[in-house]
Structure 1
Amino acid sequence: MNILISGGSGFLGSAFSKEILKRYQSADTDLHITWLTRDSSQAHPNDIQMMTYDELAQTDLGFDVILNLAGAGIADARWSDERKEQLLASRIKPTESILEFIARTSTKPKLLVSGSAIGWYGTQGDKPLNENSGFEPDFAHQLCDEWEQLALEATNYGVPVAIVRTGVVIHPDGGMLGKLLTPFKMGVGGQLGDGKQIMSWISREDWVGAAIFIIEQHLTGKAGSGTIDTGEMDTENVERAATVDNTLPTANETPAVVYNLTAPNPVTNHTFTKTLGAWLHRPTFFTLPAFLLKLMFGEMATLLIDGQKVLPQALLESGYTFRQPTLKQALEEQD
């Protein structure tokens, strides 16, 4: 199997590559990973191939799966007009290059897995949200929706699409947790605002596991099969869950689906703060009030003080079992 990854060297792409190579090599199965890059001299593991976007525009190679993860970090800088344009362009341009490749290649991929985020749903407080839920319009929704709609154009060429809407990914190597470790270790970590906002998170191990699961389900024709394994899932979430139709509308008969890549047990910011402090054996007395966060981050403060309760219902119904369904496990059981 040949897999092409945009954003392969990033926080998620590198972990995905390492894990799927390990699994397939241990099963003595032929697997090749290629990272799309703008810099051909970029450092990379020996068992990873590199390809520039210019080379993609000319290659005759075929890929079974394309994993589209390229995009600047949404929380890395204040949302100025210029930054908003950068966030959009960093997602749209790589996706356009992939679509151009799909359009001209004679050997079409069997699946395009394209990144998105739970920001698609907009700010909806503690309302449980699954793949059937609607959205509230804001910048995060606009950003995710434009990225998703472009990726769905792959179905025009007969390529099935799986959109993965990712929550806050937990691992000390990077992401939000990587940024929080230093202040929390110094004993100056604390909750944001009133701490009641819901945080929909997923461990990096489960993000990788879920992505591999989705790919294998689609390639074997088992997508959408299975029953819910609730495990340690919050019973309130189970009671509110009904069978979800995670298909997305397309202009043809080529299928497209969406998955929420979040853990089944979202937590409040207060709980997250206390759990992280306990894991690090550090106090968590400090609080950053909402008004100060808005002064510091402007519109981007919505990511910190407005919650989303996004549930991975389609993933559970497909039969995926979470390895780290609780935040405590995600912190203590690092891969």
Structure 2
Amino acid sequence: MTTWLVTGGAGFIGGNFVLDAVARGVRVVNLDALTYAGNRDTLASVEGHPLHVFVHGDIGDRALVARLLAEHRPDAVLNFAAESHVDRSIDGPAAFIQTNVVGTLALLEAVRDHWKTLDAAGRDGFRFLHVSTDEVYGSLGETGAFNEDTPYAPNSPYAASKAASDHLVRAFHHTYGLPTLTTHCSNNYGPYQFPEKLIPLVIAKALAGEPLPVYGDGGQVRDWLHVADHCAAIRAVLAGGRVGQTYNIGGNAERRNIEVVKAICALLDARRPRADGRPRESQITFVQDRPGHDRRYAIDAGKLRRELGWAPARSFEQGLAETVDWYLAHQDWVARVLDGSYRLERIGTAA
């Protein structure tokens, strides 16, 4: 039976990946520190499942990671664990360095030491897949797209911490021979996303009748990728990616932030109109732009398409409608995040 050690598997992208992997018959050892963004509610459907082992712990705990590797002998380690919100990195960058840089280094050291103990076949088949972001590349002008050869130019403490972790992964491959893979994704959206990010934040505030904050003029452009398409791309890279390589994953769905907000408003107006009949666009409020806000991101996912045949399965319009419907149908999950009650249940299961 295939076994994967997934770090950060109670977060947004990691949680979706874990749910999908278990549904596909993969045994998952799920290591998560349960910071504010880690949510056991996301994993409710696999609680007690024989293919899901949850461990409350930190990637920086080398002894714990070493024990999990020795006990469960995973075929791959997939590193989703990260502090990931740009605004929080501006307010407190130290936590991002600790998790994304120091934590990733400790994880790599534990994995390297375990990998060296494997026989030749085990070493050849093992993979360490590191999930990164397009933000390490900086900001684009009005044209062009990031590819795997784009120079790094991170502009936020978050992006800088992820760039540093990427360099460590590269170094562990070139120095020690660890069979690594790195992916860079564009902006994700979909079920179970913490409502500090744009799409779930707008949905929650729109339903509550609150102002919908839009940074600056709303003209920042992002390439939107549904989390299910992202998970499919990661599986493809894990299965067939060339060791030591990086792969960019994009949704081929560039939209200005203001366009995304207005599209959410229109979907909510159609599904759950305001009592006073006013359009939810009337709730849009432009606020002061955040420091160092990158203007445009776009991903060229041509390498992934050519080598592994991956392409996003859904359009942005389809994916956004599905996402709005999910949040409308799961207001209990959202409510427990907003009132903080999801953090009251923090007892992990030792594996």
Q: Which bin holds the TM-score, normalised by the shorter protein?
A: 0.7 to 0.9
**Partner SS, residue 30 of structure 2:** strand
Maintained 8 Å contact 1:275/1:327: no
Q: Deviations over 1:35-57 (max 9, x none)?
A: 22457xx9562232234433223
Residue 112 of structure 1, CA deviation = 1.1
Residue 137 of structure 1, CA deviation = 4.7
The number of residue pairs the alignment matches comes to 281
Q: Deviations over 1:182-202 (max 9, x none)?
A: 222327436543333211221
User: Residue in 2 aligned with 1:198?
Assistant: 221
**Partner SS, residue 183 of structure 1:** helix
Residue 162 of structure 1, CA deviation = 1.6
Distance 1:262 1:321, change over 3 A: closer
Q: Which of 260, 263, 269 is the equivalent residue of 2:248?
A: 260
The letter for the 2-side match of 1:56 is: V
Maintained 8 Å contact 2:66/2:111: no
Maintained 8 Å contact 1:152/1:161: yes
Q: What is the identity percentage for the equivalent residue pairs of Structure 1 and Structure 2?
A: 17
The letter for the 2-side match of 1:77 is: R
Maintained 8 Å contact 1:117/1:166: yes
Residue 332 of structure 1, CA deviation = 2.1
- In terms of fraction of residues, the more helix-rich structure is 2
Aligned-partner Cα distance in 1 for 2:253–2:237: 20
Q: Which of 114, 121, 128 is the equivalent residue of 2:144?
A: 128
The letter for the 2-side match of 1:60 is: A
Q: Deviations over 1:218-246 (max 9, x none)?
A: 3xxxx5xxxxxxxxxxxxxxxxxxxxxxx
Aligned-partner Cα distance in 1 for 2:104–2:79: 7
Distance 1:63 1:288, change over 3 A: same
**Partner SS, residue 77 of structure 1:** helix
User: Residue in 2 aligned with 1:32?
Assistant: 27
- Name which of structure 1's ranges 203-212 and 181-190 shifts more when overlaid on structure 2: 181-190
Residue 316 of structure 1, CA deviation = 2.2
Distance 1:87 1:137, change over 3 A: closer
Q: Which runs of 5+ in 2 are unaligned?
A: 270-278, 327-351
- Name which of structure 1's ranges 182-191 and 193-202 shifts more when overlaid on structure 2: 182-191
Residue 68 of structure 1, CA deviation = 0.6
User: Residue in 2 aligned with 1:180?
Assistant: 202
Q: Which of 50, 53, 60 is the equivalent residue of 2:70?
A: 60
Q: Which of 160, 167, 173 is the equivalent residue of 2:186?
A: 167
Q: Which of 309, 315, 339 is the equivalent residue of 1:319?
A: 309
Aligned-partner Cα distance in 1 for 2:134–2:80: 14
Please give the residue correspondences for 1:1-335 in structure 2 after superposition, counting only pairs within 5 Å.
Answer: 1-23=2-24, 25=25, 31-38=26-33, 45-47=47-49, 48-51=52-55, 52=57, 53=61, 54-58=63-67, 59-61=69-71, 62-75=73-86, 77=88, 79-80=90-91, 83-105=92-114, 106-107=117-118, 108=123, 110-129=126-145, 130-139=147-156, 140-155=158-173, 156-175=175-194, 176=197, 177-185=199-207, 186=209, 188-189=211-212, 191-218=214-241, 223=242, 255-281=243-269, 282-285=279-282, 287-289=284-286, 292-294=287-289, 297=290, 299=291, 302=293, 306-317=295-306, 318-324=308-314, 326-334=315-323
Distance 1:322 1:151, change over 3 A: same
CA RMSD between the two structures: 2.6
Residue 141 of structure 1, CA deviation = 4.2
**Partner SS, residue 3 of structure 1:** strand
Aligned-partner Cα distance in 2 for 1:206–1:261: 9
User: Residue in 2 aligned with 1:252?
Assistant: none
Q: Which runs of 5+ in 1 are unaligned?
A: 26-30, 224-254
Aligned-partner Cα distance in 2 for 1:269–1:179: 13
- Name which of structure 1's ranges 97-106 and 6-15 shifts more when overlaid on structure 2: 97-106
Aligned-partner Cα distance in 2 for 1:172–1:36: 20
Aligned-partner Cα distance in 1 for 2:139–2:162: 13
